[in-house]
Amino acid sequence: MATDSLTGDARLAGLEQALERHLAEHGCETRSAPGEVTLVVPAAQLLAVCRLLRDHADFRFEQLIDCCGVDYSAYGETEWDTEAGAGVGFGRAVDRDLDLTLDGPERFAVVYHLLSLAHNRRLRLRVFADGAAPMVDSVIPVWAAANWFEREAFDLFGILFRGHPDLRRILTDYGFVGHPFRKDFPLSGHVEMRYDPAQGRVVYVPVSVVPRVLVPRVIRDDSRYAGRESGVPKHA
């Protein structure tokens, strides 16, 4: 096991050195953590870098494993932090007015996970997109498997992919309003659908659920809370 671990560390160290050697002129930034390497690429250099990663003998990342969107609004903040507690659980969601910084230059990112079968190693690729009009180049010319992944990122985050041959929604309904994985999208959505017997068809109406932050309730059935009245059956 120790030998395998050292071999893996050496493999990743060699990858990081090769990235810095070949991609410095493209303005890329390498970030490493135990067991993984992330390459941050300027949006204008995305296609050139992707082709080099696929074709250069030092990389040979032939396969795109995954591509997804990220919304970094309020990154590192949370409305759930609290030090207060109660006998029947924690009262949480104490901060409901987080600053989402909706139009920052690095609000959105597209993250790609690449696999090199030739060298048996993986790489995470990240490119940022502006919050006001998020758009990056499509990598379909490099990895055809990106087609449906990019459609998913467009559907859920509203990120546009320049040059995509068929950029349509893929998970939500045709008439869906907004992009549900954005941090500013309400949990209850904007509209709901129901069958209208008078019209004989499904109709969309404004959502009837009042927007709210749910408060989880934890019931601990042990000796620390024996004898306390929680209003919940002992084995609920």
Distance CA 44, CA 136 (A): 8
Give residue 92's pLDDT: 46
Phi/psi of residue 134, nearest 5 degrees: -65, 120
Which residue carries 């597209």 as its tokens? 110
Residue 200 CA to its chain's centroid (Å): 39
Asked if residue 127 belongs to a domain, the reply is yes
Distance CA 198, CA 85 (A): 50
pLDDT in tens, 56-108: 999 999 999 999 999 998 787 766 665 555 444 444 455 566 666 677 889 99
What is the rounded average pLDDT for all residues in the chain? 82
Give residue 65's pLDDT: 97
The region of weakest confidence among 3-7, 70-74, 148-152 is 3-7
Asked if residue 10 belongs to a domain, the reply is yes
Give residue 86's pLDDT: 47
Asked if residue 57 belongs to a domain, the reply is yes
Measured between alpha carbons, how far is residue 60 from residues 155, 156, 164, 194 in Å?
30, 30, 24, 51
**pLDDT higher for 53 or 184?**
53
Give residue 81's pLDDT: 61
Which residue carries 């609004």 as its tokens? 73
Asked if residue 222 belongs to a domain, the reply is no
pLDDT grade, residue 215 (50/70/90)? Answer: low
For the segment 143-158, the average pLDDT, to the nearest whole number, is 97
Longest CA pairwise span in the chain (Å): 71
Phi/psi of residue 123, nearest 5 degrees: -145, 140
Structural domain total, the chain: 1
Give residue 4's pLDDT: 45
Asked if residue 68 belongs to a domain, the reply is yes
Give residue 73's pLDDT: 87
Residue 168, domain extent: 2-72+107-173
Distance CA 114, CA 64 (A): 5
Structural element, H or E, at residue 54? helix 46-55
Asked if residue 228 belongs to a domain, the reply is no
Six-digit token string for 204: 């969309």
